[in-house]
Amino acid sequence: MKAKNLCTYAGLCAGFASMAVAGDKPELKKLDNAINVQPVRVAQARVENGQFVRTGEWMDYNGGQTQRAVGIVFDCFGDSDSDGFPDDVACAMGSSRWWFGTAYCSGMATNDMQNAATGDGSGYTRSDFAWAWTCSGSGAEWCVIGLWTQESDPRNCEGDSGDYSGWLLDFGTLTCNPGGYYYTNVDLGGGTWPMPTNGDGSYLMAFFQSTGFALATCAQPMLWGTSNNGGDPGRPGTQETEQLDDDAPLDGFHSVPTECYTYSFGVCPDPIGAALSFWGEAEGGGPCDFADCDGNGVVDTRDFTCFFNLFVPRDPAADCDQNGVVDTRDFTCFLNVWNQCR
């Protein structure tokens, strides 16, 4: 199954180009073995006039916990129990995710997102995402990933607007083709990714081999889907079929129109897109409201007992992941939220 180019659009550089025909993608494959890594340091950055610019000083990453009550508001990562691991509730694939094999390289990817809850607009405090680090095929390469949010809409093959400041995440040196794919759970603590208007916009993910924005030799986002297409109803947010990939050629720009593709492959889930989630404040309160099971304003061991007493008889009030079924995933979900909020 192969993806085709769809339409004309503006890339990072402004303006429109004449219609062209994009090449096919390689054959879609599954890749097993999810390998967790965390950034060494982070820095704020922007996309300005089609150029990547670091706007803040590098800061050591301490994996600090967000103080506000947050939960997943957009999930194309596939984390039904909110534990940070790419699970397989919808498609029974273990930790497998889709990709295009070792010969395919993309410098950056953009996909749309419609959040399940817009909250108060204060921003996303955490992101989980997965990628294949192919680089030179063997050895290792320094890995820096940039992640931004924006208002542009790739559903119409619209190019990147680069509206907001985002973050550079420096992972240090990573092994090429490590026998699986990498994933991360980045909690910015006091920092945020700005939330697009009404929670409806897109994200831009770029792969670099240096802090000077030299593109990675070869990388690609791992691929999964949201809950709008027969996936797990417990996962919030939706996306459509279009994704922009910097692959024709790999040059740090989304060219017009050769790099706009449809990602409806007829696999599970379908459509797919870059495997990424955002966490933020949800409407009507965050998960810490759920963690406060007894409603006394304090999250402590009494709330664990309260939840357990609901969970054992499978009371609907114990449906932590909101998928309509009370099972062991809800126990894990509550435990993760309870640990985060107490």
Which residues are registered as beta bridge partners of 223?
98, 274
* Residue 291 and residue 243 share a domain: no
Q: Which two tokens stand for residue 307?
A: 């939840």
Alpha-carbon span 116 to 313, nearest angstrom: 29
Q: Determine the Cα–Cα distance for residues 227 and 211; give it in Å rounded to an integer.
A: 35
pLDDT of residue 13: 34
Instruction: Looking at the structure, tell me whether residues 273 and 300 fall in a common domain.
Output: no
Would 238 be classed as within a structural domain?
Answer: yes
269 and 299 share a domain? no
| Predicted TM-score of the model (pTM) | 0.78
For residues 28 and 1, the answer to whether their CB atoms sit within 8 Å is: yes
CA angle 198-76-256, nearest 5°?
75
Same domain, 234 and 295: no
Based on the domain organization, do 238 and 333 belong to the same domain? no
Q: Are residues 298 and 216 in the same domain?
A: no
Residue numbers of the domain that contains 52: 29-280
Degrees, nearest 5: CA angle 158-213-206: 40
Angle between helices 328-341 and 301-311 (to 10 degrees): 170
- CA separation for the pair 304, 196 (Å, rounded): 35
- Per-residue confidence (pLDDT) for residue 58, from 0 to 100: 96
* Pair 187, 333 in one domain: no
Is there a domain that residue 62 lies in? yes
Q: Does residue 251 sit in the same domain as residue 313?
A: no
User: To the nearest 5 percent, what fractions of the chain are helix, strand and coil?
Assistant: 10, 30, 60
What three-state secondary structure class fits 326? Answer: coil
In a shared domain, residues 114 and 229: yes
Omega of the bond prior to 271 within 30 degrees of 0, cis? Answer: yes
Report the chain (342 residues): mean pLDDT per 10 consecutive residues.
37 32 75 96 92 94 65 88 83 91 96 77 88 94 96 89 94 97 91 87 96 95 82 76 94 88 92 94 58 72 84 79 69 77 69
Q: Look up residue 27 and give its two tokens.
A: 């054959």
Domain count, the chain: 2
pLDDT of residue 301: 83
Tell me whether residue 10 is in a domain.
Answer: no
The per-residue pLDDT for range 61-98, each reduced to its tens digit, is 987 655 455 788 899 999 877 889 998 777 888 899 99
Domain end call among 246, 280, 314: 280
Kindly report the backbone phi and psi dihedral angles of residue 200, in degrees, each rounded to the nearest multiple of 5, phi listed first: -120, 110
pLDDT tens by residue, 174-219: 999 999 999 999 998 778 899 888 888 999 999 999 989 999 999 9
Counted residue by residue, the chain has a size of: 342
Whether 42 and 108 share a structural domain: yes
Burial class from Cβ neighbours inside 10 Å (0-12, 13-18, 19+) for residue 217 reads middle
Last residue of a domain, one of 248, 280, 312: 280
Q: For residue 8, is it within any domain?
A: no
Instruction: Give dist(CA 290, CA 298) in Å, integer.
Output: 11
Which of 280, 313, 333 terminates a domain? The answer is 280
Residue with tokens 């397989």: 88
Query: What does the pLDDT read at residue 89?
Result: 73
Q: Do 123 and 87 belong to one domain?
A: yes
Query: Do 226 and 75 meet the contact criterion of CB atoms below 8 Å apart?
Result: yes
